[in-house]
Every structure is written in C-alpha cells, then in structure tokens.
Amino acid sequence: MSKIPAYAAASAKAPLAPFSIERREPGPRDVLIDILYCGVCHSDIHQARDEWGGSIFPMVPGHEIVGRVAAVGAQVGKYKVGDTVGVGCFVDSCRQCEQCRAGEEQYCSEGMTGTYNSRERADGAPTYGGYASRITVDEDYVLRIPDGIPLERAAPLLCAGITTYSPLRHYGLKAGDKLAVVGLGGLGHMAVKFGVAMGAEVTVLSTSESKRQDALALGAHAFAATRDKDTFKRLAGSFDFIIDSVSAPHDYNAYLSLLRTDGTMVLLGVPEEPAPVAAFSLIMQRRKLGGSLIGGIRETQEMLDFCAEHGIASDVEVIDIRQINEAYERMLKGDVHYRFVIDNGTLSAAA
C-alpha cells in the first residue's frame, strides 16, 4: 500500500477537501496509473451529497480518468509503462454472469464495482475515484486512449461519451435517421457529436433559446426551443430517435409525441421523481421508450476508437483541484460548457 494525495468529501454536508488515501501495489494483473485528468460528472455531486442514498464516506469521487501507466503486474499483457490509458465508471464485476460474459459488465447481475463509492470484491474496502494522483486497476477494466484525442478532452468520454454512444448503437441509429437530442449539457453535447458523425439529421431540443448558437456550432442541423408550445405541434411525428439527457422534471409524453411510428425515445437523465407515461403515448404509433446505462469495456473501447477516427472529443473547461467546490456550484447552475475536467497535476500544490 502507498499513500497518495486526493480530494474527498468527509460527509454529505462537507465540501471536498485535501485527503490522503491508500492505493494497493499492483498485483499480477493490475495496472498502476498516474492520473493526469479526471472529468467532473453530475453524478459526482449526487453521490458526494448522498442524494441517491447509501454513500460511503469519506468519498473520493471521479470516474472519468485519463493517465499514464506507471507500473504493471507480472501477468499484464495489454499495457506497458508509458501507455496512455483510461478508467471509466467501474473497475470490476463478477465476470461470470450472462451480462459480463457478453461484454455488458455495467449490467452485471451481482452489480458492477464502481470506480468510487463502492466496495472492492476481494476485501470489501471502499473504492476511491479519480480525484487523486494515482489509481490501481485490473487490466481488464482499463481502456486504451487512442492517439489524436487531447487527453483533457478524452476524460469525459469515459462517462458522458459512452453514455450517449451506447444507446445510439444499441437502438440502431443509422445514416439518414432524424435524431432529437433533449438537453444540451455534458451528455447532450456528446449525443449531438455522435449523431452527426453517424450520419443522422440532428435537432437539439432545449428550454433555453440561448443554446441555439451552441447547438449549431456543435454540428446540429436544427434547434427548437421547447418553452414555445408551438414547437410540439410543429414537430409532432418528426423523429426516428430521441435521446433524452435531462434530469430535471419534464413531461415524457410531450416528447414521445414527437416520434414517428416505431420511433424510439431513450432516457439517460434521472429526474428526482418518477414521471408518468400515458399508455396512449406509446400505443398509438407503436413507439418505444427505453433506457441505457453507460457501456461495457468492449463498447467503451469501440467508442474511443470511433472518436479518434472521427475527430470527436468533449468540450471542456480545465480546472485546478482547488476549484472543485466552485465547479460543483457552477454545474448546478448550468454554468459549464460542457464538462469540467480536473488537472490532477494540481493535487501536489493543494495537499
């Protein structure tokens, strides 16, 4: 074990502050990673403030991790010292269930082991995330960052990227389809980029007219403000797919009305309260309502390679770790375009 600097929440009411954690020395199949950048996900706030319940404190958040391999175990064959790698939302799973064998570890029947706010399968110790200088991870849960993606802009791909890429692939988006993206935040801006790269005609739907220019700059073909009630009448039956990235309360039925016959709406956001869905919203045009959770290791690597091939990366604002509490407050106000990323090199000065 070695002690390293980190930032942690001591309790649900405490701001994040300097903290020391222990990382295990690499076992035979482990990769030790010097963390260069870590993205800041909205779920970090939910968990650090125990808004979903069951949080483990002290907590070191962070599951959008990019770094370089510092050491490898004797049996590691996929990576070598100096490789640029990433770690996403989970660091282990049962490896035996149907979902794990299919490469869908995020749906592990025993529950995936989260990169943070979870417990190690071997000894029950809490897992600590990427707001730290180093992390040790089994090689099977490490990802290769392709050349050509700026490392700070690669970090959010490990959550925001795969969260939007996976449903577009799984539900079969194809060139020429009409895709609506609801919400233009950390998830929504990636959905726009992927949709355009996959050949879809992309429309951004947002409550904020101020997002129009941003949407078009990201490559969207059209924009519609949903505070205008005429929008839902004008666009009724227009889309093959809707990616809904919004976690604020909103009317799913109104958005379902925008789907064509056999259209699909996929939920990625998690509103605090359940939202009613009327049967007729689905029945009348044989519409489908689905959900999606991140992606497995294989698909996440596919997504990273797709990004390198198509010149896709997240739009980010890089921050000093000492700005993390301010960043949380700004995120709650929607004041970020479109993802904060921590420069982990600032941890030494903050300790």
Mind listing the pLDDT tens digit for each residue in 161-217? Answer: 999 999 999 999 999 999 999 999 999 999 999 999 999 999 999 999 999 999 999
Please enumerate in sequence order all residues whose Cβ is within 8 A of that of 288, keeping only pairs 6 or more positions apart, or say none: 262, 263, 264, 265, 282
Topology of domain 162-291, per CATH?
Answer: Rossmann fold (3.40.50)
Per-domain residue ranges of the chain: 2-159+295-350, 162-291
Closest by CA position to 297, among listed 138, 149, 168: 138
Residue 34 phi/psi, 5° resolution?
A: -80, 115
pLDDT at position 272: 86
Are the C-beta atoms of residues 269 and 247 closer than 8 Å to each other?
yes
Share of the chain above pLDDT 70, in %: 100
Residue 228: per-residue pLDDT: 92
Query: Positive or negative, the Cα torsion across 187, 193, 197, 201?
Result: positive
Interatomic CA distance for residues 114 and 294, integer angstroms: 12
Confidence of residue 349 (pLDDT cuts 50, 70, 90): confident
Q: Binning pLDDT at 50, 70 and 90, where does residue 229 land?
A: confident
114 pLDDT band, cuts 50/70/90, is very high
Give the C-alpha separation, 309 to 134, whole Å.
Answer: 29
Q: Is the pLDDT of residue 351 over 90?
A: no
Mean pLDDT of the chain: 97
CATH number (3.30.565.10, 3.90.180.10, 3.40.50.1980, 3.30.70.560) of 2-159+295-350 reads 3.90.180.10
Q: Which of 270, 290, 296 is CA-nearest to residue 106?
A: 296
Query: SS3 of 284, please?
Result: coil
Mean pLDDT of 330-349: 94
67 vs 138: CA distance, rounded Å: 15
pLDDT tens digits, residue range 272-318? 899 999 999 999 999 999 999 999 999 999 999 999 999 999 999 99
Stated pTM of the model: 0.96
